A and B are shown apart, each in its own frame.
Chain A
């Protein structure tokens, strides 16, 4: 029990308010923008123990880390849970129109390499729509992104396949 408490304290953010979110609590779907990340209590400890942070998790999205694998969270075969953990980086990349988190999101959405530059410029242009406030959750960001894609002739097809 202690282990679980510690794990959720250290590895996930305060997603407990979203206990009913798909995937279960701690999966990141209810994560808000600028969610904090906590680590071990000190640099010294972190560098000596190399921090498994009390969590010997052994899976990606399923299995031991407590996330239910829910079909609804899959998009194009990739797990959308990724989004919850890269929200802040994604918001930065989208604001500027490039970056690794933006590429990752494009990959998860199944956007072909030749359409990614266009995806970046469309999402940059609609940054205020996709990230409509500082309090958005991963789920809302995803829904808003799909809505934006649907408005774009070239990207609409990515929003429709599920």
Chain B
């Protein structure tokens, strides 16, 4: 292994030796430099040696560049002296960040002068000056968005006086989807690394439209204290990554990890990526950036839905009626009864109606009737403008608990005592410490719970693949669905104080009602498919219900719920459970749960558990 490498290194060094003999000595040290490793996206391989995260031959100059930083360095250095006739394909133009760094490190004063007009045009158009880390917050009705995403905004000079974020660029790393697979396949391939990841640079205004309008996610904008030189250096490297493919994995080699790498290129010496060896959940990476002292200030950009709800929050009975009327038919603007409403209230009503009409048109093709309707409302707004809409900032998302959870519980089931040990890789359930999360959203990925009953009797209690719940309350104007899905293994009582591990997939849909700001009721119809060795069929289907109350109280969240599953084979299973979380500290909670299950096949049993939950990364 070593010999061919050495040979290769020697071969590629030889032309260089002729061109610039004085550098040869410094090269091995340079190849070990952390900055060179950042530029090549190298990481230490699990069995020693190196591997680059870049999965694209075009990125490397040396044949084994993906595994050999030293060979890549040598090949780069030699290419920098290539003939100037290469023009925009010259290494100096393709690798401006490598060029700058090597020039500085080796004092290369004799490099051929290359014009690089393509790069220069691009660079001057982007005009990088400062950098903002953008974090789209979670949207309640899409719990998968709780994982979040991060992107960078690259601003031009004088953003506050002479510019606007709408003129800035967004630097995004995401899976590159070719063609039209169906949705589930998209999601699966995204999770499993079936798509290559690419950087893209596009107008930030498009990203705003995507998040605040299409996905109803608030945007948090963390202004970083990168200097213009640091931002420029980062963009030079971004140019090197143009159309370059990385592996894309949702959990680790994702957008957030890649952006941390870019920040390390911007400011040499930053150590961000090494904190995330296994998973890089965006909110965790935001915290890492804050902890590294990179954040200067934080701006908040509410979603269109939040603006609509804020605008209409102060409206009452009859006023909301008018919002709905105006949103249904613009002729109502001339209605006598409507005109009898005081002008300053009408200003709010019209604005609310306009926002509602636009909200409903989200994601739809343009339709001229709807456009005419919107336009009439806008004219009314123009004649009687409402006061500026100030949306109160919610809690910063990075104040939410960290993504992984360790659980330790003691309890009893019937007359047997047990201890329970659990690990959840991510992220948040309906009872977990709420700060920084929306009430009524849950996403759990990979959760394992083991039980030790008296006499050191160990049992696998549950293994969840995923559990997502979204309780989005009805409002006077919006009627969202609430839904849930879950899949995994769980242990169920099975008569004679025995129990059995079953596999299941289940889901449900229904509605949630806000009884007050802190109290939510929900009711759903559910369906379940179960693999249970106690049943004769391999898969047994069931229909059922799930309803309950979620209450945010002074000490934490309380959830009272009832579930029923009515199997096709006649089995009926019902369960009532009550849980109360006591939020002890930012990173810990105590959970009390009481659970009673009823089944045709087993005696009713009551389970009690007191569980300590520790959130960490």
Contacts of A49 in B (CB 8 A): 174-175, 177, 186-187, 190, 195, 248
Answer yes or no: B270 CB below 8 A from chain A CBs: no
Q: How far is the CA of A50 from the CA of B213 in the complex (A)?
A: 15
Answer yes or no: B394 CB below 8 A from chain A CBs: no
Answer yes or no: A20 CB below 8 A from chain B CBs: no
Q: Is the CB of A96 within 8 A of B166?
A: no
Q: Is the CB of B179 within 8 A of A62?
A: no
Answer yes or no: B180 CB below 8 A from chain A CBs: yes
Answer yes or no: B514 CB below 8 A from chain A CBs: no
* Minimum CB–CB distance for B236 against chain A, Å: 14
Contacts of B365 in A (CB 8 A): 14, 36, 38
Write the chain A residue with the least CB distance to B241: A58
Among the listed A48, A58, A85, A98, which residue makes an inter-chain contact with B250, where contact means beta carbons less than 8 Å apart? A48
Answer yes or no: B371 CB below 8 A from chain A CBs: yes
Q: Is the CB of A135 within 8 A of B368?
A: yes
Q: Is the CB of B149 within 8 A of A50?
A: yes
Q: Is the CB of A104 within 8 A of B167?
A: yes
Answer yes or no: A71 CB below 8 A from chain B CBs: no
Q: How far is the CA of A16 from the CA of B368 in the complex (A)?
A: 16
Q: Is the CB of B186 within 8 A of A41?
A: yes
Q: Is the CB of B200 within 8 A of A95?
A: no
Question: Given contacts A49-B190, A91-B378, is CB(A39)–CB(B198) below 8 Å?
Answer: no
A39-73 residues with Cβ-Cβ distance < 8 A to B are 39-63, 65
Q: How far is the CA of A39 from the CA of B175 in the complex (A)?
A: 14
Q: How far is the CA of A63 from the CA of B126 in the complex (A)?
A: 12
Write the chain A residue with the least CB distance to B243: A56
Contacts of A56 in B (CB 8 A): 176, 198-200, 243
Among the listed A44, A59, A101, which residue makes an inter-chain contact with B142, where contact means beta carbons less than 8 Å apart? A44
Contacts of B364 in A (CB 8 A): 36
Answer yes or no: A33 CB below 8 A from chain B CBs: yes
Write the chain B residue with the least CB distance to A45: B186
Q: Is the CB of B177 within 8 A of A104?
A: no
Answer yes or no: A119 CB below 8 A from chain B CBs: no
A5-19 residues with Cβ-Cβ distance < 8 A to B are 6, 11, 13-14
Contacts of A92 in B (CB 8 A): 354, 378, 381
Q: How far is the CA of A61 from the CA of B209 in the complex (A)?
A: 17
Q: Mark B167-198, 1 if CB is under 8 A from A, else 0.
A: 10100111111111001001100110001001
Q: Is the CB of A39 within 8 A of B215?
A: yes
Q: Is the CB of B167 within 8 A of A45?
A: no
Question: Given contacts A6-B179, A107-B162, is CB(A128)–CB(B379) below 8 Å?
Answer: yes
Q: Is the CB of B173 within 8 A of A37?
A: no
* Minimum CB–CB distance for B56 against chain A, Å: 12
* Minimum CB–CB distance for A76 against chain B, Å: 11
Question: Given contacts A58-B242, A58-B243, A61-B125, is CB(A34)–CB(B370) below 8 Å?
Answer: yes
Q: Is the CB of A14 within 8 A of B179?
A: no
B116-145 residues with Cβ-Cβ distance < 8 A to A are 121-122, 125-126, 139, 141-142, 144-145
Contacts of B242 in A (CB 8 A): 58
A92-140 residues with Cβ-Cβ distance < 8 A to B are 92, 94-98, 100-101, 103-104, 107-108, 113, 124, 127-128, 131, 133-135
Answer yes or no: B262 CB below 8 A from chain A CBs: no
Q: How far is the CA of A41 from the CA of B250 in the complex (A)?
A: 18
B328-358 residues with Cβ-Cβ distance < 8 A to A are 354, 358
Q: Is the CB of A96 within 8 A of B201?
A: no
Q: Is the CB of B205 within 8 A of A95?
A: no
Q: How far is the CA of A124 from the CA of B191 in the complex (A)?
A: 48
Answer yes or no: A86 CB below 8 A from chain B CBs: yes
Answer yes or no: A159 CB below 8 A from chain B CBs: no
Answer yes or no: A3 CB below 8 A from chain B CBs: yes
Q: Mark B252-279, 1 if CB is under 8 A from A, else 0.
A: 0011000000000000000000000000
Contacts of A62 in B (CB 8 A): 121-122, 125
A-B contact pairs, 8 of them (CB 8 A): A40-B177, A43-B139, A46-B215, A49-B186, A49-B187, A54-B178, A82-B203, A113-B162
9 nearest A-B pairs in the assembled complex, by CB-CB distance = A43-B142, A134-B375, A50-B174, A49-B175, A48-B190, A52-B174, A95-B382, A104-B164, A39-B214
Known contacts A49-B195, A96-B386, then 13 further A-B pairs from the complex at CB < 8 Å, ordered by chain A residue? A36-B364, A36-B365, A37-B363, A39-B210, A39-B214, A40-B177, A44-B187, A48-B191, A57-B200, A85-B205, A96-B381, A101-B166, A134-B368
